[in-house]
Structure 1
């Protein structure tokens, strides 16, 4: 009898799957960054975190509302601290020493992501924590505290029905904006240890229950859930799958979760294309000890031939940058 040495999460294929002809927006915590970046590297059409990394459901909801209305940020929406202009709606990657430059980055991204969301086929939302920070002087739940003293914020945990009600209304607005959009929810497997061990579990439970309410309410044809949290807790429950801080997950764990995500959410044909794309990516990162060899020239020619075959077979995948790279490498020899 075959013995299983771990508890495997059963993940059925999604009724609607991603492929190279589809567009996907990823919003939320580090899981969105990890999975979204892998898809970008494989040349899928992805818009990833147009406000930067977001952790709580309210901040993600605020970001989606801003995209829907295509809001234009002004200087009144920014504040200066320690030489940087920041937005409480944005990650620090949008901060800048120059106020106009910060506004330009913010507004350009809102404009392009509004257009992307309008035509997107999938929206993947990753909740990280139900704990939020509310700026005392304005009552705004912030996306990023930007190292402002903790005394200026009120910290509390959102409730299950609070999150459910916010997203019930928000998703209806989104589907008026883009009726064909499919929504996939996930909960980040990364523990927010600063919240406390028990508080973290209560937070994750809140998020899971809210998502369950939404899927039951709207139906699994409109909303789906991918169990990234459960995969780490049950299949990868060993510290060898964690980074040095014992909280974030390791690259091996990210690769494993992405593999499970791909099998559930991406068509078999597109997974086959992505395997060839992965070969091209590895070839681009290859650095020979001595480039002036016939073997390296042959390697470049074979990779260029693969790119040309893929371009002919799958014209939807833009490989111009990769083709130019290998043509230039051949010209150097």
Structure 2
């Protein structure tokens, strides 16, 4: 059954190999196709054969070493043999197995022939010969072998009565005698068509190589698909591997691929990987690979990446009528585009860390105050860096600007007002009769802490809710919780306290109107993202800060994903943009760390804070990358990496000087100098 399976597989493989044969112009008429055998004189130098013979005599196991097998094959597969093989198969070929044999002067030999597969050739190279014998064996003709094949299938005892059987079936064994064969010569034959018997008591040694049709050049096969096995049973293994490789032609094989330190192409497997990189998931890569390895298996021409790209361009140029470009097929257009994209991608990759063409050449590598001489970089301190590379001059002193977010946002708001920017203020708390108090703001203060009294917004759902409440697209519940000191708190703006429930009711709509006016007026709005942990009410709305103790029955703790943070800020932006087309958003991550974490059972607050800031930073990146009117202000990076002593005594809040440095960074990036 295995033989039949192998015959069928090899037949299909042969058909595939013939269809993509690129060297058909080199094939020629040969008696091998008719006679199924061919003598090859002086195939290998006699001196080298003697070395092989001595090696076989002293250490037969050495012939199982890959290096020796490769050397054997390289010297045996001459240019003449190569032409004979491709002419016979009408395709490329692979080496299925290799074996070495010694016949002593006391050995009795037997007839040998193969039942299957039919598509194969065996090369027997004689490396040692006793010149005193009259001949070296018998090779039956095709008709006689066919008779034997039929009878052997019916009668397993044929060998005992072989000579009698031959006489009865008119097979003249004397006509099948092989002449004396000189060392270095070879016999190429098909063992399924011709039966062979070595002479009894004739001392000689030979190496046999089995060839089968292949879609690839034999050098690539032994290098990357199926290394040659030094025994007779490798044929099925090679056929299976070749079949599998053809069926998965757009994938790289399991072979090890190495790349030299230069752009040189030094192996066929490397060539295949490069072609798959240029034409991913494309039959065209496989097609070009089979063409290239057939025409240049030793990589004498295609020996570097530049030559490969140029050869591909020439192949397009020679196969496509450029004057008739309007009639280009979609397949050709796709392949051309992939080649162009590869060149662009390759150029982009090779210049990725280059200083040339970068807005700030010193921004590529981490600043090192004491670089090594071989680094060829100037000494730089990170404490003297402003961590940005591009300017976006979207602000001047007249630009309506606003902000919201953590306590860090409140500090930034004050500095903008101090420096004379057009900071929009639509709501203060300067009326004692209003019956309310705003944290960090006293009646009569010169500078407001925000555009309106929405308080601190630590998490991204609060920004979404801020816009939804202001524009009445999705109002939140009206809920009040009383603190122990008697103040009433709105969980969606907890930094604002009310002395009575009536004060809350009186302020409710006024506050929403003020927030809406501010968002409609601001052309540039800064949000600082503070926390990734939040508290969610049963209806899905989220508190702006941590809950009061009497609220725990109504909430659950939640840690937001990157996508949830992205969705919240995107919803905030889209809602405001609908009513204010000039609205631009500058996103920054607050450097102020957690006061506490809700994951104390499994994380330290420092670990939880790192996770929180990382998630928010990634969310900010995604938002800016996908929105034209969104920008990033790297205040988090400035404070945590570029300022030596940014913190107040509590090691959480930043100093006034730190806030001013953040505003200076803002001006460097966003303020129009000409204005």
TM-score normalised by structure 1 residue count: 0.71
Matched, 1:260 2:665: yes
Residue of structure 1 aligned with 2:630, choices 199, 220, 223: 223
1:44 positional shift = 2.3
1:37 positional shift = 1.0
Q: How far, CA to CA, are the matches of 1:187 and 1:266 in structure 2?
A: 20
Count residues with an aligned counterpart. Answer: 263
Residue of structure 2 aligned with 1:77, choices 479, 486, 495: 479
Matched, 1:241 2:617: no
Matched, 1:4 2:411: no
1:269 positional shift = 5.5
Q: Does the C-alpha gap of structure 1 residues 107 and 44 become closer, same or farther in structure 2, counting only changes over 3 Å?
A: farther
1:188 positional shift = 0.2
Matched, 1:181 2:583: yes
Matched, 1:31 2:433: no
CA deviation map 1:259-294 (0-9, x unaligned): 111222223366xxxxxxxxxxxxxxxxxxxxxxxx
Asked if structure 2 preserves the Cα contact closer than 8 Å seen for 1:18 and 1:267, the reply is yes
3-state SS, counterpart of residue 661 of structure 2: helix
Q: How far, CA to CA, are the matches of 1:73 and 1:5 in structure 2?
A: 49
CA deviation map 1:70-93 (0-9, x unaligned): 88889x43333432221011033x
**Superposed counterparts of 1:146-225, under 5 Å:** 147-149=548-550, 151-152=552-553, 153-195=555-597, 196-219=605-628, 222-225=629-632
* Greater RCO, CA 8 A, separation 6+: 1
Unaligned runs of 5+ in 2: 1-376, 425-449, 598-604
**Structure 2 partner of 1:275:** none
3-state SS, counterpart of residue 25 of structure 1: strand
Q: How far, CA to CA, are the matches of 1:253 and 1:178 in structure 2?
A: 32
Q: How far, CA to CA, are the matches of 2:564 and 2:552 in structure 1?
A: 25
Unaligned runs of 5+ in 1: 271-333
Residue of structure 1 aligned with 2:544, choices 124, 128, 143: 143
Residue of structure 2 aligned with 1:251, choices 656, 659, 665: 656
Q: Which stretch of structure 1 is more off in the superposition, 154-163 or 3-12?
A: 3-12
Pick the structure with greater CA Rg. Answer: 2
Q: Does the C-alpha gap of structure 1 residues 71 and 46 become closer, same or farther in structure 2, counting only changes over 3 Å?
A: farther
Asked if structure 2 preserves the Cα contact closer than 8 Å seen for 1:14 and 1:224, the reply is no
**Structure 1 partner of 2:494:** 91
Higher helix content, 1 or 2: 1
Matched, 1:128 2:525: no
CA deviation map 1:156-213 (0-9, x unaligned): 2100111122333442232211111111000001111422111111111111111111
**Structure 1 partner of 2:162:** none
3-state SS, counterpart of residue 241 of structure 1: coil
**Structure 2 partner of 1:60:** 463
Q: Does the C-alpha gap of structure 1 residues 207 and 183 become closer, same or farther in structure 2, counting only changes over 3 Å?
A: same
